[in-house]
């Protein structure tokens, strides 16, 4: 039996085939309902069911209490409709996902730091307490005002995970090069913060997120540590089985500045719809394109009228890429940007 899943309050309807879970049906139609375990154990996919019958399947009480069941809540990763229509409360009136309210004063321990390039280091944080819920592409605010370290924004470089791990990729801005607040915070992270140290942060913030209702080819353009939010968006989309082509163009000055190459090649091997196109602006390397993305974009994408475009990097990079994408026909409403100020 095919059932309809109706979203409240938007009224949008999604078909759910026999044997499919509500989560699978939503994802197949492009709606990214938050989820982690997909096995009824974490509670991330919990929504209230306004009407209709469903088979909840086997889920853990800690993920869905008896009280919550009595109030009509269900876990959509395991729920299968039993009636012709199931109306669930999820999304906003225009069917976009709800943003999670940011939380102040969250704490995490720095468990690892990985040099990605001579200037960009990845900081791996494990949260103390409740993991932060966020949408791929969002950022956190981090600093230490008690030591005069300004609070700055850093994009999350991974999709949400059950253990709440957060990865930040931070460009080191040398003193004197740009004595900005962002520079001071980046040097504090690179030079002073030790493994095992507790850090306070707030988040999630930002609206650089995909519209889950969109079903178009996706083009991601990134430069430097602008790759971070793009990684988060792409990882989440690929992991949930996004079937349309996803291309990631990454601009770096020299070969040493191209990072996460292994991950890019893994994604290419694992997901036939994913393509990675690196380009160098100040060096040449066999098999790698050369030139700034705004200049070479048209060679690879002569017509962007059907694409959704996500751009992240310095504000200059973002502005130039937006102009190039617009000139190639990308609709303004389908261009999403995240510009970093005062990054190297
Ligand atoms: Fe974990 Fe549904 S995704 S309970």
41 lines ligand 1 (CB under 6 A): yes
Question: For 51-60, how does the pLDDT look when each residue is reduced to its tens digit (9 = 90+)?
Answer: 999 999 999 9
Q: 190 and 291: one domain?
A: no
Q: Give the residue from 34, 56, 89 where a domain finishes.
A: 89
Model pLDDT, residue 33: 80
We report the CATH number of the domain holding residue 276 as: 3.40.50.80
Q: Give the residue from 205, 235, 257 where a domain finishes.
A: 205
Q: 246 and 329: one domain?
A: yes
Question: For 299-313, how does the pLDDT look when each residue is reduced to its tens digit (9 = 90+)?
Answer: 999 999 999 999 999
Tally of domains in the chain: 3
Sheet strand arrangement including 85-89: 13-16, 3-8, 85-89, 46-51, 73-75
**Residue 212 within a domain:** no
Neighbours of 151 (CB within 10 A): 15
We report the CATH number of the domain holding residue 171 as: 2.40.30.10
Domain that holds residue 249: 218-340
43 lines ligand 1 (CB under 6 A): yes
Of 42, 119, 114, 121, the closest CA to residue 76 belongs to 42
Q: 301 and 335: one domain?
A: yes
Q: Is 253 helix (H, G, I), strand (E, B) or coil?
A: coil
**Residue 234 within a domain:** yes
**Residue 326 within a domain:** yes
We report the CATH number of the domain holding residue 24 as: 3.10.20.30
Which ligand 1 atom sits closest to the C-alpha of 76? 2
Which ligand 1 atom sits closest to the C-alpha of 43? 4
44 lines ligand 1 (CB under 6 A): yes
35 lines ligand 1 (CB under 6 A): yes
pLDDT at 36 over 70: no
Phi-psi region of 206 (alpha: psi -120 to 50; beta: other; left: phi over 0): left
**Percent of the chain residues past pLDDT 70, beyond the cut:** 95
36 lines ligand 1 (CB under 6 A): yes
Average pLDDT over the chain reads: 91
In whole angstroms, give the CA distance from residue 49 to residue 69: 10
Ligand 1 centroid from CA 323, angstroms? 41
Ligand 1 centroid from CA 113, angstroms? 29
**Residue 192 within a domain:** yes
Q: 128 and 36: one domain?
A: no
pLDDT at 99 over 80: no
**Residue 210 within a domain:** no
Best residue among 26, 27, 35 to mutate for probing ligand 1's pocket (most ligand atoms within 8 Å of CB) is 35
Q: Give the residue from 169, 184, 205 where a domain finishes.
A: 205
Q: 255 and 333: one domain?
A: yes
Which ligand 1 atom sits closest to the C-alpha of 34? 3
pLDDT at 344 over 60: no
Q: 107 and 84: one domain?
A: no
In whole angstroms, give the CA distance from residue 279 to residue 291: 6
Q: 198 and 223: one domain?
A: no
Q: 309 and 224: one domain?
A: yes
Question: For 140-186, how does the pLDDT look when each residue is reduced to its tens digit (9 = 90+)?
Answer: 999 998 999 999 989 999 999 888 999 999 999 887 655 666 689 99
pLDDT at 341 over 50: yes
pLDDT band at 342; cut points 50, 70, 90: very low
Q: 109 and 200: one domain?
A: yes
pLDDT at 76 over 60: yes
Is pTM beyond 0.85? Reply is no
pLDDT band at 242; cut points 50, 70, 90: confident
């Amino acid at each position: 039996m095919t059932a309809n899943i109706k979203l409240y309050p938007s009224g949008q309807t999604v078909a759910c085939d026999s044997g499919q879970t509500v989560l699978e049906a939503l994802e197949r139609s492009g709606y990214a309902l938050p989820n982690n375990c997909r096995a009824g154990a974490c509670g991330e996919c919990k929504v209230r069911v306004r009407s209709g019958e469903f088979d909840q399947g086997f889920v853990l009480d800690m993920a869905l209490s008896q009280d919550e069941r009595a109030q009509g809540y269900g876990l959509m990763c395991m729920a299968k409709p039993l009636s012709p229509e199931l109306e669930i409360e999820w999304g906003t009136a225009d069917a976009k996902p709800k943003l999670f309210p940011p939380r102040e004063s969250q704490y995490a321990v720095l468990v690892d730091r990985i040099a990605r390039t001579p200037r960009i280091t990845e900081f791996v944080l494990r949260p103390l307490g409740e993991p932060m819920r966020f949408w791929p592409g969002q950022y956190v605010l981090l600093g230490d005002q008690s030591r005069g370290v300004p609070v700055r924004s850093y994009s999350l470089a991974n999709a949400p995970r059950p253990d709440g791990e957060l990865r930040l990729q931070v460009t080191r801005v040398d003193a004197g090069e740009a004595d900005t607040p962002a520079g001071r915070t980046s040097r504090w992270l690179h030079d002073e913060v030790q493994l095992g140290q507790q850090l306070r942060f707030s988040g999630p913030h930002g609206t650089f997120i995909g519209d889950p209702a969109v079903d178009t080819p996706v083009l991601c353009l990134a430069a430097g540590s602008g790759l971070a939010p793009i990684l988060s968006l792409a990882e989440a989309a690929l992991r949930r089985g996004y079937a349309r082509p996803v291309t990631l163009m990454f601009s770096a000055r020299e070969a040493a500045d191209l990072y996460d190459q292994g991950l890019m090649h893994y994604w290419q091997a694992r997901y036939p719809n994913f393509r990675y196109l690196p380009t160098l602006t100040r060096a040449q390397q066999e098999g790698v394109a050369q030139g700034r993305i705004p200049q070479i974009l048209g060679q690879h994408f002569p017509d962007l009228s059907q694409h959704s475009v996500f751009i992240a990097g310095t504000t200059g990079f973002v502005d130039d890429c937006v102009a190039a994408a617009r000139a190639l026909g990308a609709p303004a409403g389908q261009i999403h940007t995240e510009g970093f100020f005062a990054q190297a």
